[in-house]
A and B are shown apart, each in its own frame.
Chain A
Amino acid sequence: MATSVLSRQLSESGALVERHWQELNARRRLYTFLGLAFLVLTLFASLWFANDSNAGKFFDRLPHFFDFVGDLVPRDAMEIVRAMFDLPSPYDDGSFKYNYPDGRLYLTDSLYIPEYFHKMLETLNIAIFSTVVGVSFGFILSFLAARNLMPNPWIRGPVRRLMEILRAFPEVVIAGFFLAILSLGPIPAIAAVSIHTIGALGKLFFEVVENADMRPEEGLRAVGANWIERVWFGIVPQVLPNFTSYFLLRLEINVRASTIIGAVGGGGIGELLRLSIGQGHEAKTIAIVILLFTTIFAVDQFSAWLRRRLVGDQAFQLAQ
Chain B
Amino acid sequence: MTASTKPSLLEMEAIAARHPHLLQSSSTKRLKAALIGIGVLLYMVFSWWFFSIGHVLANANWGIAGTYLADWVSYEVRPEIAIAADGTMAVSYARNSPLGSNPNPDWVTLEKKTVTRTIGAPAAPQAPKPKASSSFNFMAPNAALGGSQTAQAQNRMETRREEVAVRALITYDRSTNIEIADGLVKATHGGETLTMTVDGADAVTPQGPLPLWATQKRPGEKITLSFGLTGWAEVEGDEVSIRNRFFGWANFLFDTNSPFFGKAYGEVASLIVSGERIDPARSNLSLAWSNILYNAEWQHLDVWTKLLQTIVMAFVGTLFASLIAFPLCFLAARNITPNLFANQLAKRFFDFLRSVDMFIWALFFTRAFGPGPLAGISAIFFTDTGTLGKLYSEALENIDDKQREGVKSVGATPIAVQRFGVLPQVLPVIASQALYFWESNTRSATIIGAVGAGGIGLKLWEAMRTNSDWENVAYMVLLILMVVFIFDSISNACRSRLMGRKAH
Contact = CB atoms under 8 A, between A and B. Distances in A.
B60 A263 contact: no
Nearest to A259: B359
B60 A289 contact: no
Contacts of B51: 125-126, 129, 185-187, 190
Nearest to B312: A46
A172 B316 contact: no
Interface residues of A, number: 64
A259 B357 contact: yes
Given A49-B308, A256-B357, A264-B461, A58 B56 contact: no
A132 B48 CA distance: 13
B60 A181 contact: yes
Interface in A162-188: 168-173, 176-177, 179-183, 185-187
B368 A169 contact: no
A297 B56 contact: no
Contacts of B64: 180-181
Interface string B324-356: 000000000000000000000000000100111
B59 interface: yes
B288 interface: no
A292 B43 contact: no
**Is chain B's binding surface mostly helix, strand, loop or mixed?**
helix
A122 B447 CA distance: 20
B464 A180 contact: yes
Interface string A18-39: 0000000000000000000001
Interface residues on B, range: 35 or more
A53 B305 contact: yes
Contacts of B364: 68, 277
A126 B369 CA distance: 31
B447 A50 contact: no
**Is chain A's binding surface mostly helix, strand, loop or mixed?**
helix
Nearest to B391: A318
A12 to B, nearest CB: 31
B133 interface: no
A261 B357 CA distance: 13
A53 B372 contact: yes
A176 B56 contact: no
Interface string A99-137: 000000000000000000000000001101100100000
5 contacts: A50-B316, A54-B373, A129-B47, A173-B464, A277-B367
Minimum-distance CB pairs A-B, first 4 = A54-B372, A55-B370, A56-B370, A176-B464
Interface of A: 39, 42-43, 46-47, 49-51, 53-56, 58, 61, 64-65, 67-68, 71, 125-126, 128-129, 132, 168-173, 176-177, 179-183, 185-187, 190, 207, 222-223, 256-257, 259-261, 263-264, 270, 273-274, 277, 289, 292-293, 296-297, 300, 316, 318, 320
